[in-house]
């Protein structure tokens, strides 16, 4: 059985905490890989990948000098051909403060992966989520699992458990 690479960032904080929960649930089948120093070679090692991201504002992604770990890692993602790779995404966002762009970057990442031939699994219904707009909604569903540790931390365990049960078969577990 090949390992599952869990690429996540930033270190410390909610995304890191959820990535560790995913790793614990998947056990020895998974490896945590912080995006802070990850490269194309790291991505190419895995046929099964889970990306864990936090939503950041458009100004961060457009900034030439961004210090955000994902802003630095994003160009690496687009250099990989994901043909034959199974990919899932979880994204942390704030549905109260950012109701107009809840977990938007999860959608941007998902579209980039699809454009590079990834088999993206783990789509989630928008039912039970309160938000006005999100680029992560594609064909009526979230491209991955949205979580709001700021305003709905009590829902994380149930949402995560349900999502993991959905994606495990896709990852051969």
pLDDT digits (tens, 9 = 90+) for 17-44: 999 999 999 999 999 999 998 999 999 9
Number of structural domains in the chain: 1
Looking up residue 100, the CATH number of its domain turns out to be 3.40.50.360
4 closest CA partner among 64, 51, 39? 51
pLDDT digits (tens, 9 = 90+) for 56-100: 644 444 445 445 788 788 888 999 999 999 999 999 998 888 888
10 closest CA partner among 53, 60, 65? 53
The two beta strands, 141-142 and 119-121, are unpaired
Rounded Cα distance, 150 and 40, in Å: 32
Q: What do you get for the CA distance between the two ends of the chain, in Å?
A: 9
Domain residues for 101?
4-171
What's the pTM? 0.92
């Amino acid at each position: 059985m090949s390992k599952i690479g869990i690429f996540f960032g930033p270190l410390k904080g909610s995304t890191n905490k959820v990535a560790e929960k995913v790793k614990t649930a998947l056990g020895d089948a998974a490896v945590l890989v912080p995006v802070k120093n990850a490269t194309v070679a790291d991505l190419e090692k895995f046929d099964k990948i889970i990306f864990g991201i936090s939503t950041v504002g458009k100004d961060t992604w457009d900034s030439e000098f961004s210090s955000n770990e994902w802003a630095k890692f994003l160009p690496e993602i687009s250099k990989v051909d994901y043909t034959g790779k199974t990919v899932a995404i979880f994204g942390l966002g704030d549905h109260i403060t950012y109701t107009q762009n809840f977990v938007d970057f999860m959608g941007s990442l998902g579209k980039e992966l699809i454009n590079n031939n990834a088999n993206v699994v783990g789509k989630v219904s928008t039912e039970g989520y309160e938000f006005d707009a999100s680029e992560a909604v594609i064909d009526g569903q979230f491209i991955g699992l949205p979580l709001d540790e700021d305003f709905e931390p009590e829902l994380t365990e149930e949402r995560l458990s349900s999502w993991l049960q959905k994606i495990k078969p896709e990852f051969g577990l």
